Amino acid sequence: MFVLSCQQMRRAEQAVLDAGTITPDGLMDAAISSATAELQNDAEYAEVRRNQPRVIVYAGKGKNAGDALGLARSLGYTRITLRCATPVEQMAPETRRQLGLTAAEADVQIATPPLSPASEGTLLIDGLLGSGARGGLRPKYAQLAHEMNELRRTNPRNALLSVDIPTGLDADTGAADADTVRADVTLAIGCVKEGMLADGAENYVGRLIGVPLPCVPLPHSTAQVADSSLLSLLPQRHFSCYKNQAGRVRVIAGSVGFLGAAQMCAEAALRSGAGLVELFCLPEYYDLLAVRVAPEIMVRRVNHFADVPSEGAQAFLIGPGLGSPSAENQAALSALLERAECPVVMDADALRLLAAGHLPWPRQAILTPHPGEMLALFPQAADLARAETAAQFLLRHPCTLLLKGARSLISDGASILYNSTGGPFMANGGQGDVLAGAVAGLAAQGLSPFHAAALGAFLCGRAAGIARARQGFPLCVCARDLLPCLTATMR
């Protein structure tokens, strides 16, 4: 989904309205229908719906409130509590129409006093203000936004969903104030607004779900947010396909205390569809790794890394849990990287060696740093926003960069894509190992470095969300929980 300014999106919508190809009511109906479809096809939401039988819609006077009302009705709620910032007669005509449609199908109660926390789970739908709002929140809107945040905070079974943008967040700059809504999920209608991707805005936006509006042609943008259309990048296999045609990944990873990293990255490469995965390790680790990895993975014992062949691989993955190789092995890795003619995913300790100048830059490098590793690679990052960090880094070091974080960023210098899946439940060790393996597996199957990084990040976040839903929404999911879910994400 494209990332645009509010002005660009308004112009695009106005153009189709002026052309008469759709009416304002038709545009709202299209947004509601698309938003409903996105949620109903979402594995995480299916579990949310079971846990939140109640719904409260927070409505302002604008069209955003109509989207929120129509969404509650389309999701099948038959009892809807409505909290209004203005009298109903002051609402936009399209919103009043949605209220009439909703009241005809569901029991709508307009609640006037402040609401107290309920014991049962409640879905809170934020339709107070849309992306066109500017400036600080007026008192009534600030009161209702604060009420939503408190209901979310005091009952962990509640979930807060913002329509288009969280109330109080500036759609162009990402600026927020004390009462800005802190959503669990935001449905971005038509496009993602630039301010939603500003550093720090993710704490208000939460999980980002794009809601396409095919009826509104949009201007091209080099910045996009990942959505399920990335799944079209998955290779289509001929019926006669066999393992040697599905990509060979060679992994160099693991050391004392970090054998799990080698295991998880190799298994993630396997789960992402690679036909053959070879894990190369030194003699002192062979016996331990050979008995713990998936039996389909070929564990290769080498006396030193000079014995790792460069020919015949479609992707290399170097670094997870690698530790500090000897000078001889560093030299061997350098020679390997200089010969490699396929994509090379560099993660963890390989990034540290690269930052220290002990390894050369591969011709088709895919780097997967977390913020600390990015700082080692590019100290200027300390004073830059993430998008500017990527832009300036790639001017100096042409490669594909997957900068991990709450909204992982993927760029090759020409395009930039923000991942939309995953969340704070992935804040534990090993997640990066799984990601690196998935990216390598996809690259080995013929995806370009940029597309392999983008799809790998999307699939891993989606797998984590599915694992969390299956486990009943725990605080966190372990990295190994992603592995059996990776294949499910590709459906």
pTM for this predicted structure: 0.93
**The tokens 């200089």 sit on which residue?**
338
Query: Three-state secondary structure along the chain?
Result: CEEECHHHHHHHHHHHHHHCCCCHHHHHHHHHHHHHHHHHCCHHHHHHHHHCCEEEEEECCCHHHHHHHHHHHHCCCCEEEEEECCCHHHCCHHHHHHHHHHHHHCEEEECCCCCCCCCCCEEEEEECCCCCCCCCCCHHHHHHHHHHHHHHHHCCCCEEEEECCCCCCCCCCCCCCCCCCCCCEEEEECCEEHHHHCCCCHHHHCEEEEECCCCCCCCCCCEEECCHHHHHHCCCCCCCCCHHHCCEEEEECCCCCCHHHHHHHHHHHHHCCCCEEEEEECHHHHHHHHCCCCCCCEEEECCCHHHCCCCCCCEEEECCCCCCCCHHHHHHHHHHHHHCCCCEEECCHHHHHHHCCCCCCCCCEEECCCHHHHHHHCHHHHHCCHHHHHHHHHHHCCCEEEECCCCCEEECCCCEEECCCCCHHHCCCCHHHHHHHHHHHHHHCCCCHHHHHHHHHHHHHHHHHHHHHHCCCCCCCCHHHHHHHHHHHCC
> In the CATH scheme, what is the homologous superfamily, with its name and number, of domain 231-489?
Ribokinase (3.40.1190.20)
Asked if pLDDT for residue 117 goes beyond 70, the answer is no
Asked if pLDDT for residue 27 goes beyond 70, the answer is yes
Establish whether domains 3-222 and 231-489 are of one fold: no
327-350 pLDDT, tens per residue?
999 999 999 999 999 999 999 999
Mean local confidence (pLDDT), 140-158 = 93
Q: In the structure, what pLDDT confidence band is assigned to residue 134 with cuts at 50, 70 and 90?
A: confident
444-471 pLDDT, tens per residue?
999 999 999 999 999 999 999 999 988 9
Neighbours of 120 (CB within 10 A): 11
204-262 pLDDT, tens per residue?
999 999 999 999 999 999 999 999 889 999 988 999 999 999 999 999 999 989 999 99
> In the CATH scheme, what is the homologous superfamily, with its name and number, of domain 3-222?
YjeF N-terminal domain (3.40.50.10260)
Picking from 366, 378, 429, 368, the residue whose alpha carbon sits closest to that of residue 404 is: 368
Where in the chain are the domains? 3-222, 231-489
Mean local confidence (pLDDT), 377-389 = 96
Picking from 339, 321, 338, 327, the residue whose alpha carbon sits closest to that of residue 252 is: 321
Of 21-35, 92-106, 112-126, 130-144, minimum mean pLDDT range: 112-126
